[in-house]
């Protein structure tokens, strides 16, 4: 009988040939998903039975076609939790954890947070679970993504809101009251080449007109309305926006505008503080 170790090794070779960035990791995670074993247990486990082998081979073939691993397993690891994801919602990336680190460092005790363009709810979920003292609203405009958002926020104190985050009427009862606004909006310019896996994300969660700024610009204006003087706004952007993103903050009434790199040294997110009243 072929062992799980042999089965995973063969799958990793196939995934590597297909251009998958982390073939061994993905093969092991798919094997763990199918078998119900941990990755460590797979090393000494008997081989897959006929049903498991058929299921595993089918998933490996889909991953080789560059369908996201998270769609195949139904979940995405993010910080200290697992989020349910699948077709219709943007798969959260590890880089976004840096935005959460920044947000938690700038959130006062008992603060009010609005997470715009919330998608799966990754940022809102992390803030709500790591800072249960905070009041968190998560805004998402796409009905399909909103279903994932609602599911992921169950059991937290975060409130899902189906609405356009850039609209003046959205959560206008919180205007001037928020301490922190976060966002991972669509920001990829149309002409940018993306990884094949991105094609499985909803296009409306990825692309934002030619320059990639179609949502960021009005969102900065809306964030300035939500925030109390001295409140903070942080948002992700394309790595081509390292200069323009802080400038958008400045012209929208923010001070202390700066850009932050990800762990690979690429511009990743911009932050600013709403100017204090004289």
HSE (side-chain half, CA atoms, 13 Å) at 227: 28
- Kindly state the average pLDDT of the residues 58-80: 96
- Kindly state the average pLDDT of the residues 219-230: 97
pLDDT value, residue 46: 86
d(CA 76, CA 86): 9
**34-46 CB burial, b ≥16 within 10 A, e <16:** bbeeeeeebeeee
Closest listed residue to residue 185, CA positions, set 159, 222, 153, 154: 222
In this prediction, residue 112 has a pLDDT band, given cuts at 50, 70 and 90, of very high
- Kindly state the average pLDDT of the residues 10-18: 97
- Kindly state the average pLDDT of the residues 234-248: 96
pLDDT at 268 over 90: yes
In this prediction, residue 113 has a pLDDT band, given cuts at 50, 70 and 90, of very high
172 known ligand binder = no
Contact status, residue 134 vs residue 140, Cβ threshold 8 Å:
no
Q: In this structure, what are the phi and psi dihedrals at residue 140, rounded to the nearest 5 degrees?
A: -140, 135
187 known ligand binder = yes
pTM of the model: 0.91
pLDDT value, residue 205: 87
pLDDT at 278 over 70: no
pLDDT value, residue 206: 87
Range with the poorest average pLDDT among 155-164, 206-215, 250-259: 206-215
278 known ligand binder = no
d(CA 257, CA 273): 7
- Kindly state the average pLDDT of the residues 94-116: 97
Q: What is the pLDDT of residues 119-139, one digit of tens each?
A: 999 999 999 999 999 999 999
- How deeply is 125 buried, as exposed, middle or buried, from its count of CB atoms within 10 A (0-12, 13-18, 19+)? buried
Q: In this structure, what are the phi and psi dihedrals at residue 181, rounded to the nearest 5 degrees?
A: -125, 130
Q: What is the pLDDT of residues 159-201, one digit of tens each?
A: 999 999 999 999 999 999 999 999 999 999 887 888 899 889 8
185 known ligand binder = yes
Closest listed residue to residue 145, CA positions, set 176, 120, 163: 120
In this prediction, residue 277 has a pLDDT band, given cuts at 50, 70 and 90, of low
pLDDT at 254 over 90: yes
186 known ligand binder = yes
Range with the poorest average pLDDT among 66-75, 113-122, 174-183, 206-215: 206-215
pLDDT value, residue 119: 96
């Amino acid at each position: 009988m072929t062992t799980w170790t042999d089965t995973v090794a063969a799958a990793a070779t196939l995934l590597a040939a297909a251009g998958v960035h982390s073939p061994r990791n993905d093969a092991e995670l798919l094997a763990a998903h199918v078998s119900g074993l941990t990755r460590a247990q797979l090393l000494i486990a008997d081989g897959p039975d006929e049903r498991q082998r058929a299921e595993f081979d089918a998933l490996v073939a889909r991953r080789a076609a560059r369908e996201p691993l998270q769609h195949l397993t139904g979940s995405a690891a993010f910080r200290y939790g697992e989020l349910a994801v699948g077709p219709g919602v943007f798969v959260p990336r590890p880089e976004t954890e840096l935005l959460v680190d920044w947000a938690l460092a700038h959130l006062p005790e008992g603060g009010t947070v609005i997470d715009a363009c919330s998608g799966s709810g990754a940022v809102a979920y992390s803030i709500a679970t790591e800072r249960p003292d905070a009041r968190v609203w998560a805004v998402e405009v796409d009905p399909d993504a909103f279903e994932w958002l609602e599911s992921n926020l169950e059991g937290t104190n975060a409130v899902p809101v189906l609405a356009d985050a850039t609209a003046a009427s959205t959560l206008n009862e919180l205007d001037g009251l928020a301490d922190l606004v976060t966002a991972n909006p669509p920001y990829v310019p149309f002409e940018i080449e993306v990884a094949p896996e991105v094609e499985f994300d909803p296009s409306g969660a990825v692309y934002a007109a030619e320059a990639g700024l179609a949502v960021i610009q009005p969102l900065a204006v809306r964030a300035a309305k939500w925030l109390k003087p001295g409140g903070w706004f942080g948002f992700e952007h394309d790595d081509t926006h390292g200069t323009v993103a802080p400038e958008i903050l400045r012209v929208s009434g923010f001070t202390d505008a700066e850009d932050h790199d990800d762990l690979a040294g690429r511009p990743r997110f911009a932050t600013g503080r709403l100017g204090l009243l004289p």
